[in-house]
Structure 1
Amino acid sequence: MDKNTQIELEAAAFRQLVSHLQKHTEVQNIELMILADFCRNCLAKWYVAAAAERGIDMDYEQAREVIYGMPYNEWKDKFQSEATVEQLAAYERKQQSKS
């Protein structure tokens, strides 16, 4: 496979992942962090870093809007629920296991 085809496939997979996360708003970021060690905010940070590597000026909030499909505060108001005690404990255990 040539490099351009690989990049196109990776980009398509990334777009599908973002679309999937936008459709599944019931999946909370803390759940993603517990299970996969990344969340929508991580994707936004990686997006900003990729832009910076290419000399493209983009801030974190702009990247979040790309990933969330709307301004982050709007998404948070509509879809984010308060983390449960169990979720917070699982997240803390995950963080401790990484040390």
Structure 2
Amino acid sequence: MDAQTKLEIEAAAFRRLQQHLMQDRPDAQNIDMMNLAGFCRNCLSRWYQEAANERGIQMDKAQAREVFYGMPFDDWKAKHQTEATPDQQAAFKESHG
């Protein structure tokens, strides 16, 4: 496989992951993803921001989140995020504390 084809396949896989998290499973809470997998949508948007910045494209956290979420983050939170339960918070503290 040549480098360009590999890059295109990786980009397609990323877009499919983004679609899955944003459209197919908006019910999956970021805190649960962090507790189970160690990353969430916010991590993916941060990685997007870092990749843009490494290429000389200035992008802040809010801009990267809007690109990844397809809307301002506060709108996403209001539409899809629930308040973390004490159990979720405890699991997060245990795994990331």
Identity across matched positions, percent: 56
What 5-or-longer segments of structure 1 have no aligned partner?
A: none
The one-letter amino acid of 2:91's match is A
Name the TM-score, length of structure 2 as normaliser.
0.93
What 5-or-longer segments of structure 2 have no aligned partner?
A: none
Q: Counterpart of 2:13?
A: 13
Does 2:66 match 1:65? Answer: yes
Name the TM-score, length of structure 1 as normaliser.
0.92
The Cα shift of 1:59 comes to: 1.6
Q: Counterpart of 2:78?
A: 77
- 1:21-60 equivalences under 5 Å are 21-23=21-23, 24-60=25-61
The Cα shift of 1:93 comes to: 1.6
Question: What CA deviation, in whole Å up to 9, does each residue of 1:1-36 have, x standing for no partner?
Answer: 111111000000000111111111111100010011
Coordinate RMSD, CA, aligned: 1.0
- Alpha-carbon distance in 2 for matches of 1:70, 1:21: 14
3-state SS in 2 of match to 1:47 = helix
- Alpha-carbon distance in 1 for matches of 2:31, 2:90: 11
Q: Counterpart of 1:93?
A: 94
Instruction: Work out the number of aligned pairs and report it.
Output: 96
The one-letter amino acid of 1:63's match is A
